[in-house]
Chains A and B, each alone.
Chain A
Amino acid sequence: MSGLKSNLSRFRGYFEQTAKLMIGVPDYDTYLEHMRTRHPDQPAMTYTEFLDNRLQARYGAGKAGCC
């Protein structure tokens, strides 16, 4: 039963990740994990700073639209 539950929540996680990446927002937890393991000396961005950073990356210089 718990197996099914964890499968469901993992599926939900993937669904949410996919939806967010579709609009150019990668996984925040992955970013935090990355900062914790690779750059423990540097402060990580808060979630709102992170979103703002991704917004600029998506619509900033040198990006093309779709067909």
Chain B
Amino acid sequence: MPRILNHAPWLVLAVLGAFALGTVALARGETINALWLVVAAVCTYLVSYRYYSLFIATRVMRLDPARPTPAMRHNDGLDYVPTNQYVLFGHHFAAIAGAGPLVGPVLAAQMGYLPGMLWILAGVVVAGAVQDFMILFVSMRRDGRSLGELIKAELGDIPGVIALFGTFMIMVIILAVLALVVVKALTNSPWGFFTVAATVPIALFMGVYMRFLRPGRIGEISVVGFFLLIAAILLGGQVAQSETWAPVFTLTGIQITWILIGYGFVASVLPVWLLLAPRDYLSTFLKVGTIVMLALCILLVAPPMKMPSVTRFVDGTGPVWSGSLFPFLFITIACGAVSGFHALISSGTTPKMVENELHTRFIGYGGMLTESFVAVMALVAASCIEPGIYFAMNSPPALLGTTAESAAQVINNWGFVITPEMITRTAQDVGEVSILSRAGGAPTLAVGMAQIFSELFGGKGMMAFWYHFAILFEALFILTAVDAGTRAGRFMLQDLLGVFFKPLQRTASWAGNLIATGLCVAAWGYILYQGVVDPLGGINTFWPLFGISNQMLAGIALILATVVLFRMKRERYAWVTMVPAAWLLICTLTAGVQKVFHSNPAIGFLAHAERFSTAANEGRLLAPATSMEQMRQVIFNDYLDAALASLFVLVVLAVLLFGIQSCLKALRSDRPTTREIPTGGATARAGD
């Protein structure tokens, strides 16, 4: 009897969660409060953590608190340090939380908040948190090895190289798309551009301060940096109003693109202490602080959800991104539901610092649940602004035109009430000239956050400040990701190219360094440029490509986890990873094939190329091309994008085949064939 009583509070939570979710799902026509979503999410997280993650920990993995972790065996006070689980949770969360969970749900809101909400909750419980937890476990049992090394060890050398190559391509796409978000937010926005540009001298000052003036005072300089950022936001407001300075900082998308490309190149060859590290400190603290603040503000303000729970765009005709609910919703929201990039983090520094095997449940599964909550908050912020404003901000100029009047007319035709005055007033409230066609999530989220924050602090007068605070917060960590990513991409590329030409491999050589950096920047810069000149707004085309690649990486990670379970002879529990892997493969392969072959030019790259070829042959020009040469460029890009999408599909299919092969081989064996470090193996190291 007492055992049953133990479950009583959890039963109450489950019922409460089901009731909240029912309220969210069944609301038709009437506006519901955002708190219902928060309650539904939190109850789902708590119950799934209590039961499902415990099941995985005890039955599937059989975590053993007595087994020495890598931190215990190789303790060196630097890379391998047994660390308190709450401290390590903070580190892990800061590493996995980025722009992904903030952007995806905002874009998904075009279908209403309900489809996105359901996928975030179901996805994280069954797929995302399971992946993070499993990879953390697999890596921890193998001395904290990286995902590439793990795939090599468990599936074989060839799939290992394929997966590494896939990871590099994914990184190029992610950098281009993230940079595109920044360009969309800063185009023709002197306030935003000035503030973000000011972070560079601020970071340089912090770097010099920490290096020469007061070495090692991280806390002190971070506080100084934070106040300088606030000053930059306030000064940006003055700049935007100044007749002399506003035009200097008013730049077109193409100008900002070239500045970003140049910046990415310079920033990733400078010494890390000068620019990258100090800005990383600022962006990490600002990111975590803002997420906590947003959570508190949503609880206190309890905003109503103005977006309908389901919009007419579930049929796939939406203006923000093209494609129907299945499969495209499931790749639009990646981080927050399931993200392949987390597999890289879970096999990075975290497994080397775990103090006790049992802690991985809280860090791996719990960390991802927290990230999912960030995605729910982003969905709330995007859904509590007027739907008309949402579509004005996220639809491409090809549909809206470039004036508030034309935009309002188009959006009214879609069935969302909006007047040109509402659009211009919102732009004035947030201190911008125009809010039209700022797709990419960041500006929409900034308007939502500004609305929520300003209800608590400062009222309408502070809205412009909060809007630019939110833009700064996102741009800051996206830029950090861009130069850290360019750096990482450079090392990967030097490794890959070094196979053909040895001298390139020396990461300390200036020539090899500059060539690899140049190639890496050129790769993402090229895609970024295409996105900026795209009349459909770029995000429309490239976010799905990013989603496909990221979810495919998750599929690869889950295939790896499945193979490991088979090799541990725990195949009766392999459904834990096989079910989410199968779902991800179904979604991503369908989406990948549709992106290449779909007959609608807005979705299929080949159909788009076909449309431009036909026009070119008839001597007609189609926007954005203004010359025949540009027409040929568009066609070439379409084939390039189609090749990229096909490549991702092939990479995943190859890993799937190798995975099935490894599982069958493990089934035939009568004993475990996994390559874990043995229980008492204080000195044994796998593979050595």
Contacts and interface: CB of A to CB of B under 8 A. Distances in A.
Interface string A26-67: 110011111100100000000110011111111111111111
A32 to B, nearest CB: 8
Contacts of A38: 75
Contacts, number: 125
B341 A55 contact: no
B550 A67 contact: yes
Contacts of B341: 64-67
B78 A67 contact: no
A64 B348 contact: yes
13 contacts: A21-B88, A22-B90, A26-B353, A27-B81, A31-B77, A54-B78, A62-B146, A63-B491, A64-B341, A64-B345, A65-B171, A67-B98, A67-B334
Nearest to A63: B488
A30 B82 CA distance: 10
A15 B281 CA distance: 15
Given A14-B84, A59-B277, A64-B341, A24 B334 contact: no
Contacts of A27: 81
A56 B353 CA distance: 18
Contacts of A30: 77, 81
Interface string B234-275: 000000000000000000000000000000000000001100
Secondary structure call for the B interface: helix
A67 B342 CA distance: 8
B79 A57 contact: yes
B639 interface: no
Secondary structure call for the A interface: helix
B281 A17 contact: no
B481 A65 contact: yes
Residues of A in contact with B, size category: 35 or more
Interface string A1-29: 00000000000001011111111111100
Nearest to A29: B77
Given A23-B285, A34-B77, A63-B488, 7 more contacts: A18-B91, A21-B88, A31-B81, A54-B78, A55-B272, A59-B272, A67-B334
Contact of A66 (B88, B97, B218, B276): B97
A64 B344 contact: yes
A20 B218 contact: yes
B267 to A, nearest CB: 11
A55 B100 CA distance: 25
A39 B20 CA distance: 57
B174 A67 contact: yes
A62 B491 contact: yes
Interface of A: 14, 16-27, 30-35, 38, 47-48, 51-67
B548 to A, nearest CB: 14
Given A18-B90, A21-B88, A23-B284, A67 B339 contact: yes
Q: Which 8 A-B pairs have the closest CB atoms?
A: A34-B77, A31-B77, A18-B90, A67-B341, A66-B98, A67-B100, A22-B94, A21-B91
A55 B281 contact: no
Given A18-B90, A21-B83, A64-B485, A48 B78 contact: no
A46 to B, nearest CB: 9
A61 B491 contact: yes
B146 A22 contact: no
Contacts of A25: 218
B96 interface: yes
B213 interface: no
Interface in B133-184: 146, 167, 171, 174
Contacts of A33: 77
A4 to B, nearest CB: 20
Contacts of A61: 491, 507
Contacts of A34: 75-77, 81
A31 B491 contact: no
